[in-house]
Structure 1
């Protein structure tokens, strides 16, 4: 995937997603298809958007027993998505099984989708993690632990907040991808995200990919909003 901003297509159905993409008739984009859109439309939404020439991050956050995740990834590999993910909390064996499934399901001569692991959701606060997940320690320590576990399982990277990206690269490796949601322009509403950042802050913290949703999809002019974010992301190099 090109490391341009990834647009989160968090829509209820195909028509809304395609309507958004009409704002970009001559551009190759990177987009995220999450659970809401995928469960509404099924695999056809992935193949339809890939046929338009866009890169796809299929964000289904698989978390199950290793054999189930392996078989699911084998099926997902055939859809042509460029990136998929699992929950790191599923453990090393599950993450290794995910890669096995992807390798098995990827057609000969095709590139295996990147596989990354969700560490802690950007909607999770440290106090929530400690009280509800019973993880005693800091949020950053938990994210780093999951990052190291994903690296051991030979995954390509992690989903984390911007605020952990630099530490992940420093402690796990610069070639280990950090995909960072929770991106907003400075004047935008936070929504339900807690650990947010601007595109320039993300670049300075060494994020490899930023995922942007409502700042683009709810803008009066989504194309203009996207290019504002893209310019800020590129200027921070």
Structure 2
């Protein structure tokens, strides 16, 4: 099984989703986002776990610290393996999320999910950062600042574009597990992502995991598309 590719289950219909999961027999990780968690909830998580798959719950929690803490604890109880929070929620919120995992592990006596702090979404570029988020800085500087806050909050996972992964590795070494969205094989359409990278380059730049959705599930043959990406990346090492 591939441990580096996280297949984004962003297609519609529970039967279609599970059919895809069963088709991709060599895929270990699957991402459940806001749309399909809202539609199918715990049922989808349970079905993935029945198949011995690892679940990346990508709901990007961003709320007051106590609410975020409770949400993260509940996600841990579901048995997910990774989950996301927004780093822009601040250090108090991120510390509360980290506390939730520690409390879960102490109570249950088992490892909880890895928390990933989302830095800057891959649909955001420098212009959007300034015009829509009122941040008068570059994406790169903003990512570094948010990563520093995450580190101080005891969060050791990040979601970041592979465009920023190299500089994150240079500054923080291997402290963070880095998950990279916005991955598009050279033979796939760019679509709505602005800061994209090919799978091989993402690994070379230091990404630990790559989230890939549409290039796989919208392919004429999803299994063939997955295997093509897997073979392209299986012998690639970080630079």
Distance 1:120 1:4 in 2: 21
The residue number in structure 2 matching 1:180 is 180
The residue number in structure 2 matching 1:72 is 71
Which stretch shifts more, 95-104 or 68-77? 95-104
Contact 1:178/1:207 (<8 A) preserved: yes
> TM-score of the superposition, structure 1-length normalised?
0.95
Distance 1:172 1:135 in 2: 23
The residue number in structure 2 matching 1:156 is 156
Contact 2:7/2:27 (<8 A) preserved: no
The residue number in structure 1 matching 2:190 is 190
After superposition, the C-alpha distances for 1:6-45 in whole angstroms (9 at most, x for unaligned) are 00001233212101112134x3511100001100011221
Contact 1:122/1:182 (<8 A) preserved: yes
The residue number in structure 2 matching 1:40 is 39
Helix, strand or coil for the counterpart of 1:135?
coil
Deviation of the 1:104 alpha carbon: 2.7
Distance 2:142 2:59 in 1: 21
The residue number in structure 2 matching 1:134 is 134
The residue number in structure 2 matching 1:216 is 216
Contact 1:12/1:40 (<8 A) preserved: no
**Residues 187 and 28 (structure 1), Cα distance of their counterparts in 2 relative to 1, 3 Å cut:** closer
Return 5+ residue gaps in structure 1 as ranges.
none
Which stretch shifts more, 163-172 or 83-92? 163-172
Helix, strand or coil for the counterpart of 2:116?
strand
Please say if 1:7 is aligned against 2:11.
Answer: no
Helix, strand or coil for the counterpart of 1:29?
strand
Q: How many residues align?
A: 236
Distance 1:218 1:128 in 2: 28
Deviation of the 1:4 alpha carbon: 2.0
Distance 1:77 1:192 in 2: 31
The two structures, once aligned, show a CA RMSD in angstroms of 1.6
Distance 1:10 1:99 in 2: 27
Helix, strand or coil for the counterpart of 1:5?
strand
Helix, strand or coil for the counterpart of 1:111?
coil
The residue number in structure 2 matching 1:226 is 226
Distance 2:79 2:20 in 1: 21
After superposition, the C-alpha distances for 1:138-158 in whole angstroms (9 at most, x for unaligned) are 110001111111111111211
Distance 2:153 2:90 in 1: 9
The residue number in structure 1 matching 2:92 is 93
Contact 1:215/1:225 (<8 A) preserved: yes
Helix, strand or coil for the counterpart of 2:23?
coil
Deviation of the 1:187 alpha carbon: 2.0
Helix, strand or coil for the counterpart of 2:115?
strand
